[in-house]
Chains A and B, each alone.
Chain A
Amino acid sequence: MSWPAETIARANDIIARYPERRSAVMPLLYMAMREEGRLTDEGMRLVAGLTGLTPAQVQSVASFYVMYKTESQGKYLVSVCSSISCFLLGADEVLHAVEEAAGLPAGEADDEIGIEHAECIGACGGAPACLVNYELVEGVTAAKAKEMIEWLRNAKPEVINADELQTLFGGRRSFDWAIKEDNGAIGPYPAFPPFGTAAHNTPALEPGRLATRNSRPATPEVGAS
């Protein structure tokens, strides 16, 4: 397997942002998830090749962070916050409702939906809250959460847009969101245009930023022999 030339070019743009190639591991891991829907061994090998690390080093980094998923999360990863503020306002009931509606226990996924409990997602003022593909919906209830799962199953939205989620299923917010946004997530990874992971992507490099730099060389291929 390899990545399309466009993705490789984007990866190289990302690498060029950092003084050392290794720093690009995290963005590149997201790009690997974007390519295959999850992080595969092959994806990690490719990232290793691009960043000058061994695949074991890449896996070591990837497995440290909970957002790099090696198992498929379906098309929509629903993360229900279970930390203290959400817990105080009924997060466990929300998670239970989500599990029931999806027919899946937390930590599992089918072809469409993955369910997990998340630790604090920074929506404590709008507790309880969830993320769908890391797009936020605040002030959910068990009933709304159930509706949301049904909606995901039936409407099968191509793009997860937080404003839409919030309008349909949300309640109290941490603060006034005020600003409408039409961008959103296209898969179970964060929607960030430079990585090519958002619905409406932009070129990786900011206008006026130099595309090349004297990136310190990565450690060349290390291996057994």
Chain B
Amino acid sequence: MNQTRVLFKRMTDHPADSHTIDRYLETGGYEQARVALGRTRDELVELVKTSGLIGRGGAGFSAGMKWSFLAPARPAYLVVNGDESEPGTFKDRQLLERDPHQMVEGMIIAAVANEVHEAFVYIRGEYPKPARRVQQAVADAYERGFLGRDVMGTGYHLDITVHLGAGAYICGEETALLNSLEGRRGEPRLKPPFFPAAKGLYMLPTIVNNVETISNLPHIVERGIEWYRGLGHDVDTGTFLFSVSGHVKKPGNYELPHGITWRQLIYDVAGGIRDDNELKAWVPGGASAPWFVPSEHLDLEITKSVTDSSGSMLGSGAVIVMDETTDMVAAAERLVRFFAEESCGQCTPCREGTTWLDMILRRMLDGGGRAVDLDLLYDVSDNISVGVGWPPKQTTICPLGPSAVSAVKSLLEYFRPEAEAHIVRANRVPVTIKGFGQ
């Protein structure tokens, strides 16, 4: 199955130097920024709205709508979310490393559209190489007059600052990211009232967009709405970057249209399961998403609406494939542990609940499982995410706590016998009695 390369095109065509300003300019770079500088906010917001561009950060909200909500107070800020940390996701890293100017140009377009003169790129601390590439791109853009006091001679002022995180998954949540950028603990803010479009960075109107979302902008400006919509599938316009990992033969980032099936993605695109093993389950949209299983979901179309209605989400586009050899309790524990370790600790159910879930799962893995533990796992989950449904009815401030529940819910829903077997096995571990030899 062929990829539809838009965001990945330049780096595919020019692998050795797609990150340089010379190559970028040689392939038409920064022309769309110039076009955008000649347009009004309304025109650009309308363009992006009509293009159907959905934010690629995981929440799946229309980027144009998000822009249109920007409150009138000024200054306004633009923050690009490059805190890619959702387990299974590594697409932004590739965009940042291999085609940073594509994002910088997208930022100029987003800045003009939102009357922003000061923009930030927040890149996770574990990505120093992508950060260096972006920093170099920004410096080159300043040098060429694409950034600074007088962008491309238009008098428009735009500064971009690259900000490095320091190891906190939760900063991928946009309000936590803003706190972090303000020099605070990366704790999510309350929504309401702190919607970034009204009260964002320094309590001023702020647009937060994901790297991939922003990287789409030059292409939409260049080739228009029709072309962009045509790339996609129905309401899911444009291409979509899938990060496929786990037990597949060909893991990697793939740029694809929506609308193919999971079977096509896993077997055709990613080459099928390693050692030709059986597929056991996969996480369709990053570690936060409830799992899919072949018996129910393999032939579903990959679209936002189908995925949502099937009880999961496309999220960040990370597909984590697990084969028959996988111990599902261990996999669930590893996912829950991630969220427990990355919980900011602000709110009670996430701080205490995710940790408790992980303790129970670990105890089960260590042979200390009890018959009541599965019901306890469910009920603790229920106190984090009422009804343990999807989308979650969360008791938490942000979706991190319910993300931990996804794995537990999936384990109990699809692999309960396996989990029970763990407990039975655990209880059969013989007690060593002194004097009876080994």
Contact = CB atoms under 8 A, between A and B. Distances in A.
A202 B143 CA distance: 14
Interface stretch (A100-108, A141-149, A151-159, A207-215): A207-215
A61 interface: yes
B196 to A, nearest CB: 15
Contact of A125 (B84, B90, B181): B90
B287 A125 contact: no
B135 A119 contact: no
Interface of B is mostly: mixed
Interface string A175-206: 11111010101000011111100100010001
Interface string A45-76: 00000010100000011001111100000000
B16 interface: yes
A67 B167 contact: yes
Contacts of A99: none
A179 B97 contact: yes
Contact of B320 (A88, A181, A198): A88
A207 B182 CA distance: 24
Size category of the A interface is 35 or more
A185 B246 CA distance: 29
A11 interface: no
Given A17-B161, A26-B166, A84 B129 contact: no
Interface residues of B, number: 78
Interface in A100-152: 118-127, 131, 134-136
Contact of B88 (A26, A66, A84, A206): A84
A8 interface: no
Contacts, number: 218
Contact of A179 (B19, B149, B251, B283): B19
B341 A65 contact: no
Contact of B126 (A131, A177, A206, A210): A131
Contacts of B15: 176, 178-179
B389 interface: no
B88 A120 contact: yes
A24 interface: yes
A202 B139 contact: yes
Nearest to B339: A119
B164 interface: yes
Nearest to A162: B129
B126 A209 contact: no
A135 B128 contact: yes
B17 interface: yes
Give the one of B86, B166, B169, B253 with max A CB within 10 A: B166
Interface in B87-102: 87-90, 92-94, 97-98
A192 B338 contact: no
B341 A119 contact: yes
B88 A207 contact: no
Given A124-B251, A179-B98, 4 more contacts: A21-B183, A30-B166, A66-B168, A178-B11
Interface of A: 17-27, 29-30, 51, 53, 60-61, 64-68, 79, 82-85, 87-89, 118-127, 131, 134-136, 162, 172, 174-179, 181, 183, 185, 190-195, 198, 202, 206-210
Interface of B: 11, 15-19, 75, 84-90, 92-94, 97-98, 118, 124-129, 131-132, 135, 138-139, 142-143, 145, 147-149, 159, 161-169, 180-187, 202, 243-247, 251-253, 283, 287, 318, 320, 322, 326, 330-331, 334-335, 338, 341-342, 344
